[in-house]
Structure 1
Amino acid sequence: MYKKITALLLFGLFAYSCATVPLSGRRQLSIVSNAEVLPLSYDQYGEVLKDSKILTNTREGKQVVTVGRRIASAVEKYLEETGHSEITDGFAWEFNLLESEQVNAWCMPGGKVAFYTGILPVCQDETGIAVVMGHEVAHAIASHARERMSQGMVANGLLGGLQAAMGENPSLTQTIFLQAVGFGGQVGMLKFSRDQELEADQLGLIFMAIAGYDPREAPTFWERMNAQASGERPPEFLSTHPGPERRIDQLNEQMDKAMEYYQANRR
């Protein structure tokens, strides 16, 4: 009897707490609001900057900022035109280039972006940066971190919202947040993360096209990324990222739609 009641309560929670990702239309669990998660995001971003060598004022750093602002403007234009402008309420866009050999970049909830110098040779130019920028910003627009955090809270029985979870178990809640924004991971969440990666590809392709960057360069970027990968790549079912062939195929399938946006917004 208890299990049935619990199942009904969880079903009601999922039904009540579902949101829809713009453009893709996918339904997602969302029991954590932007108002709750953004302060945590901004604090964590500040900690990363304190522990990093910031190169934003260099030529390459300024290029990252330029691309970031164009992508952010494209995002806001798209959201306004589709009636979803509330998604960026509370966002405080920020773009920084950090010194690191990591071939990586990320965007925290609220539009806090970091590029590592290690990914710039793969990007090669401003359009390559736009491919990555569009993809990473898409994670924030699609609320992937909030979705992952919601999943983590439900999995750990923290059903009363973020403030209640902080009061009940602050260390666990902080751990769930760090995992949600990518500072950790769980094998149980990897499959969903691959879905999120493909969704970010889809959104990012549109965002870069609206910003005036040629979306046909996106598959080429991922070909370069694949070529520079060293060592044996782990099987896809044990990776948070989809295989390069799969993501390139999906990007090409979506290219006609992206090109319509690009032709309408060429600079």
Structure 2
Amino acid sequence: MENPAVTNAKWWADFWETIENWAFFGVVLTLAVEFVAVQLLKSPRRVIDDARQLEIAELNNSAERLRGDNLALQTVLLPRHAGIIGIDQAAPADKWFAGTENFAGTEISLQVVADAEAQNLANEIAFALRARGWKTRFIDEKTTNFLSARIMDGVQVSYPIGKTWTPDTQNEPWFIWAKAANSLATALTRANLAPGGREISAYGLRNEQQSVGTYGLSPYFDPPLEGVYLQVGARPVAETIEWIKRGRPDSLGNIPGLLSKPPP
């Protein structure tokens, strides 16, 4: 008969060995579960991280767009200038109006809406052009038969259209006026006078007499206009606000800071 003490010792040895085996199995099982969990969590975590990064990027872009919107609105509310004064540097007009001196001698007729800020801008533009050899004159509806109150916000550059180019009419004076007008439009665009991030373009003007009942709706010069015609309206606040509402697209229609969400 086996000694009771030995029997008791064997029982406890078997018991603790079983506990040890189960503990080892538990450790292995825990490690296996942890490994599987880590692998299974990679995809959801990646989705969550990507979504979080996209959300952060969208918030940053929204903040940047708001800053841009505020800056655009603040800018359009400021008085406009043609850059004829430089503080501790050359006058910006030297760069903005570069090239217009090639059309020295061109006459420009300026019609201005009844607005003090617009009149000051027109004076500065006239000064910049006179410094480059242009002949400037201020006119009103008595000359243009066009009501000054109907001048659109911003600035519009035009020139009279004459005969179409042919070998016999290749020296028509309006060909030069068109080039001068385009040069001026480029200068005014450089001066940031175009609302909504677009460019100012010169356009041809047909000097046609208006029918009865339409007086004041479009310009008509008698005697005919010779040179370039510039309309200076009020600050284009309404157009700028509408441009901001559309996301401030550039001349190609691209909206700054616009993010496209990746496909799921």
> Do they fold alike, i.e. is TM over 0.5?
no
* Greater length-normalized contact order (CA 8 Å, ≥ 6 residues apart): 2
TM-score scaled by structure 2? 0.29
TM-score scaled by structure 1? 0.28
